[in-house]
Structure 1
Amino acid sequence: MINKWLREHNITILPIITLLASFLMLVLSMLLFIELAEEIIEQEEILIDDFVYSFASKLNETFLYDAMEWITEIGSVWFITVASVVVILYLLLTKKSKWYSLFFIINIVGIGLLTKIFKMLFERERPDLLEQYDGVGYSFPSGHTTGAVAFYGFVIYLISKSEWKKRWKITLIVLLTLLILTIAMSRIVLSVHFFTDIVAGLLLGFSWLLINILLLRFVLFRRKNKNSI
C-alpha cells in the first residue's frame, strides 16, 4: 500500500532514505557538539587534548610542520573569501536556479558568524598564540576547520550533483574530504588549537553545511513541484 502511494506521487525510496540519514547525521553531530561544549563550559580537564598537544609540540622544525604552514592557509579567511567569490560567480553563470548561490552565501557567511559567536561564548584560550598562523583570539571552535567544512563541503555537494564522470566525481570528493581533514590537522600540528577545538569545528561546520544543503534541496523540490502543477 505504501509502495502504491509512493508510485502514485512519483516518489522513490532512495531520496527518502537519504533524507532520513541526513537528519540522523545532523542530530548526532549537534548532540556531540553540545556534549563537547558542556565539557568546555565546565572547564573539565580533557586528557586527549593534553596528549595530542604534547605529541604535536614534538613536530616543530620537521617536514610535517613546514608542510602544515602552507596547508593551513588554504583554510584561512582570506583564501576562503577569495575562493567563495569564484564559486559564487560560477554558480551565477552556470546554474539556472539562483538558489544555489543564495544558500552558498548563507552557508559561508553563517558559519563565520556562528564561529565568532561560539568563540565569544566559550572564551577558551589557545594553547599558543601565533599570529602568523591566525592563532589569535579564542580557540573553541576552530575557525579554519568550520570554514573548511562549510566551503569545501558545499563544493563537494556541487560536484556530487554535477554531470561529470563518476570516477572524476569520486576522486575529487575524496581529495577534498582529505583536504578538509588535513586543514583541521594543521591547526593541531601548528599548536594553535586543541584537539577538541578541531572536533567541535568539524561537528559545527558539518551541521551548518547539512542544514543549508537540506534547505536548498527542499526549496528546489518545492519549486519543481510547483512548476509541474
Structure 2
Amino acid sequence: MEATDNKKASFPALLLIIGLGIASLFVWFFAEIAEDLLENELVRFDDAIISMFEAVETSTLDSIYIIITELGSVWFLMTLSVLVILLLWFKAKDKWGILFFITAVGGSGLLTWILKHTYERGRPSINEEIDAIGFSFPSGHSMGSLIFYGFIAYFILRSSQKKIIKYISMVVLSILIILIGTSRIYLGAHYPSDVIAGYVAGTIWLILCLLALEWVQWQSNSQVRPVYTLRNFLVSTFKSVKQKLGK
C-alpha cells in the first residue's frame, strides 16, 4: 500500500520540486535585475532597445500599439477577470480555480504596487492616456498580462479542448503577452528592463499560484495523504540515489 501511495505521490512531488526550482531561478533573475537597477547598470541596455523601437516608429504602429497596450490595462483585465470568474462558477463549477485565479490576479496588483514603491524608478515619460503614471519598475502591464493570460492558458490546457485548439491558444496568448510588453516600451511608458522585470516577477507569482492550485486539487481529489506520502517519496528517492552513489 505504501509503495502504491508513493507512486501516486511521485508526479505531484516532482511537479512541486520542479516548479519551486524554476520559481527560485526567476527570483534570482529578478534580484539581479533589481541590483543592476540600483547600481545604474541598465542604462546602456535600456537605451539600446529604446533606440531600436524609435527607429521603427510610424503613425500606424502608434495606433496599433495603443490598442494592444489596452489589452493589458487594469480596467480591461479586471473586466475579463469578472467574466472568467462567472464562467468558472456557473459552467465549470471550479471553486478552487476561482479562488486561486482571484489570488493570482489580485495578488499581482498588490505585488506590483509594493515593488514599484520599493524601487521608486521614474518613467521614461508620463502619459495618462496610456496609463503611464506613477513609478516604472516593474511594468504592471507586463506582470499583470503574463499572470492573467498565463492563467487562462492553464485553464485551456486543463480543459477537454482538442490539442490543436490548445496549441493555437498557447501561441496566440504568448504572442499577446509579448506584444503588450513591447507596447509599453514603444509608447515610452516603460524602460525595457521594467518590462523584463515585470515578466520575471509575474512568472514567479504565476508559478506559485498554479503550484498551490494543483496541490490543493490533488489533495481534494486523492485518497492519498499528500504531506505524508510526499515525505515518504522524498525519503525513498534520497535513499535510492544514495545507494546508487554508494555502489
- Establish whether residue 143 from structure 1 lines up as the match of residue 140 from structure 2: yes
Counterpart-to-counterpart distance in 1, 2:109 and 2:10? 35
The runs of 4+ residues in structure 1 deviating greater than 6 Å are: none
1:176 aligns with 2:173: yes
Distance 1:74 1:219 in 2: 31
Aligned residue in 2 for 1:161: 158
Partner of 1:218: 215
User: Which range is displaced more, 195-204 or 35-44?
Assistant: 35-44
Alignment of 1:18-57 (within 5 A): 18-57=15-54
More deviation in 64-73 or 198-207? 64-73
Identity of matched residues, %? 37
Match of 1:113 among 86, 110, 113: 110
1:204 paired to 2:164: no
For residues 213 and 91 of structure 2, what CA distance do their matches in structure 1 show? Answer: 17
Provide TM-score, normalisation by structure 1.
0.91
Equivalent residues of 2:12, 2:215 under 8 A apart: no
Residue equivalent to 1:101: 98
Cα deviation 1:173-213 (Å, max 9, x = unaligned)? 11101111111111111111111000000001111011100
What is the distance in 2 between the residues matched to 1:110 and 1:101? 13
Give the total of aligned pairs: 225
Decide which of 74, 77, 82 is 2:74's aligned counterpart: 77
Q: Does structure 1 conserve the Cα–Cα contact (< 8 Å) formed by 2:143 and 2:202?
A: yes
Which deviates more from structure 2 when the two are superposed, residues 24-33 or residues 41-50? 41-50
Conserved 8 A contact 2:5-2:224: no
Distance, in Å, in 2 between the alignment partners of 1:89 and 1:82 is 11
In the TM superposition, residue 46 of structure 1 has moved relative to its aligned partner by 3.0
- What's the TM-score once normalised by structure 2's chain length? 0.84
AA partner of residue 107 (structure 1): A
Distance change (3 Å), C-alpha of 1:91 and 1:27:
same
With over 3 angstroms needed to count, the CA separation of the structure-2 counterparts of 1:203 and 1:52, relative to structure 1, is: same
Unaligned segments of structure 2, at least 5 residues: 226-247
Q: 2 CA distance for matches of 1:151 and 1:112?
A: 11
Of 204-213 and 89-98, the range deviating more from structure 2:
89-98
Between the aligned partners of 1:203 and 1:47, the Cα distance in structure 2 is 20
Deviations 1:78-104 (A, max 9, x none): 100000000011111123341110110
Residues 83-139 of structure 1 show CA distances to partners (whole Å, capped at 9, x for unaligned) of 000001111112334111011001111000100111111110111112111111110
User: Which residue of structure 1 lines up, in the alignment, with residue 236 of structure 2?
Assistant: none
What SS class does the counterpart of residue 27 from structure 1 fall into?
helix
Q: Say whether residues 1:61 and 2:58 are aligned partners.
A: yes
